[in-house]
Amino acid sequence: MINPIIPSGGYDAFVPHLHLQTTADLPENAEIPEILAELVEVLAAQPSFESPSIKAYHSLRANWVVGAGHPPGFAHLTVAILEGRPGEVRQAIGQVLMECLRRHFAGSLDAGEVAITLEVREMNRETYLR
């Protein structure tokens, strides 16, 4: 069945979303616009993504607590894409974006001041609305 709401370009015309969250203590927060721009560029270079469809945004965490022994700060990227891509493709997306984050947060990583995490989530085609 053809869904009249979905554009002729396919589902990816509406997605993906890149949501970067960082703690306020990280000096790299001064470079967030550049980090977001590179994340978009890196993802756009992957098969089945086009730059105009990618949305990247940031949330600064002013209040946070981490467990004992954890670096004091964190950077977490949530990558939300529509379901259907094979696991290997999702893993490859995560790897190239993680490499980008590690480059940008290298100073805080080397100082033991940040933990970087990333999750690739699949959005359900039936419940992703626009």
| Long-range contacts of the stretch 104-108 (C-beta < 8 A, 24+) | 104/28, 104/31, 104/34, 104/35, 104/38, 105/26, 105/28, 105/75, 107/27, 107/28, 108/26, 108/27, 108/28, 108/73
Per domain, the residue ranges of the chain are 23-123
Tens-place pLDDT, residues 15-52: 799 999 999 999 999 999 999 999 999 999 998 888 99
Tens-place pLDDT, residues 71-121: 999 999 999 999 988 999 999 999 999 999 999 999 999 999 999 999 999
Q: Per the CATH hierarchy, to which homologous superfamily does domain 23-123 belong?
A: Macrophage Migration Inhibitory Factor (3.30.429.10)
- What's the pTM value of the predicted model, to 2 decimals? 0.88
- Judge contact between 46 and 92, C-beta under 8 A: yes
- Judge contact between 105 and 26, C-beta under 8 A: yes
Q: How far is CA 44 from the centre of its chain?
A: 12
